[in-house]
Homo-oligomer: A and B are copies of this chain.
Amino acid sequence: VIMPFRSLLKKQQIIVNLAKGIEVDTLLTVSGVLEDILGTSFDNIVTLSGPSHAEEVILGHPTTLVSASKNENAAAKIQETFSNRTLRTYKNDDILGVELGGAMKNVIAIAAGICDGIGYGDNSKAALLTRGMGEITKLGTSMGAKASTFQGLSGYGDLIVTCLSKHSRNRRVGQAIGEGHSLKKVLGDMSMVAEGVLSAKSIHQLRLKHKVQMPIHEAIYQVLFEGKNPEHSVEELMTRSLTSEI
């Protein structure tokens, strides 16, 4: 099955990946899955990511993207193709960091929704986003991604746009859980998929594999899959031993 697919690709043909996620069990990002199928010698894979609700792109609202690839020429080609007066694309050679940020932000979006469901305000949400991104940066860098990528458009940028949005499915799932419903009940009631639920599983596996302490993500996992009470989890997080910020 594998060789014929590779043989369909022309030389210099670029694959642009718009999908986000980390495959459960294999723990591959989407470009990792493509590499697995096509072989690592094919490096014309570009992941296009960043804070970009399609509804606003269509309206011509100024929007920024990241074109990430191990192959700089491919990244530059896609950067040029996706830049005009309202769309501005930046290059980044850290495709792993860009993809990890895009997948992980959905988990924090669920947690932001849980905050809303409990009735917490902006202080709690800002703490969650910032400390959550700190954990993601720690995991990502231990996997070989760059810290600066998580500070950029595919990291904080995408996280901010997701958590600002009232329309995010991940946030809505979180809100219902924060209001006291079980994950099973919430997913049963929705017609759409909330990617963050699966990403929470992959991140749980990655965290154990790379032995990285991620207390917020551990709490989210326990709330989602082990029925732990969200308010109780928050209190545990707030009363851990005091520490330095970095």
Contact = CB atoms under 8 A, between A and B. Distances in A.
Interface stretch (A80-88, A186-194, A204-212): A80-88
Interface in A127-149: 127, 129-131, 133-134, 137, 146-149
B164 A125 contact: yes
A152 B147 CA distance: 13
Interface residues of A, number: 64
A148 B93 CA distance: 21
A25 to B, nearest CB: 31
Interface of A: 51-53, 55-57, 59, 61-64, 66, 79-80, 83, 85-93, 120-127, 129-131, 133-134, 137, 146-153, 156-158, 160-161, 164-165, 234-235, 237-240, 242-246
A138 to B, nearest CB: 11
A171 to B, nearest CB: 12
Given A152-B134, A160-B160, A164-B164, A83 B242 contact: yes
B148 A246 contact: yes
A137 to B, nearest CB: 7
Contacts of A93: 244
A120 B157 contact: no
Contacts of A59: 121
Contact of A51 (B55, B130, B242, B246): B130
